[in-house]
Amino acid sequence: MKKLFFFIALSAGVSAFAQYNLPAASPRQTIEQQFSVSKVSLDYGRPSVNNRKIFGALVPYGEVWRAGANSATKITFGQPVKVGNTVLPPGSYAVFVIPQAASWRILFNKDAEQWGAYNY
């Protein structure tokens, strides 16, 4: 009887632990904004800093970064958008940046479903 009680108690404890959800280390976030007859949406992974120096250390200056955590940040435009001197047609783009100490360069890639910054 003691063995049966122990087994039931152990099973209940394991079952309760299996249902415990911890927050993601770098949770995904999506924001959308309606502009006139179109909208812009942004899907990104919020990197956890965890008391680390990010820019100039973990993310070196002068190297491509995926502008978020895990999969590349994705931006979707419902209409053509002018960025600098370039007009981007409507659609989804992966966003990458090249951080510098004083300024950053922003890159848009037509392959919006990328992981990391391997194929920017």
Q: What tens digit of pLDDT does each residue of 13-65 get?
A: 555 555 667 777 778 889 999 988 889 999 988 887 888 888 888 888 999 98
In a domain, 105, yes or no: yes
What is the count of structural domains for the chain? Answer: 1
In a domain, 95, yes or no: yes
The pTM assigned to this predicted structure is 0.73
In a domain, 34, yes or no: yes
In a domain, 97, yes or no: yes
In a domain, 1, yes or no: no
Give me the pLDDT at residue 19, please.
Answer: 64
In a domain, 36, yes or no: yes
Q: Name the percent of the chain lying above pLDDT 70.
A: 78
- Which residues are CB-neighbours of 71 under 8 A, at least 6 positions away? 45, 113, 114, 115, 116
In a domain, 18, yes or no: no
In a domain, 57, yes or no: yes
Name the pLDDT band for 79 (thresholds 50, 70, 90). very high
Q: Which domain holds residue 62?
A: 24-109
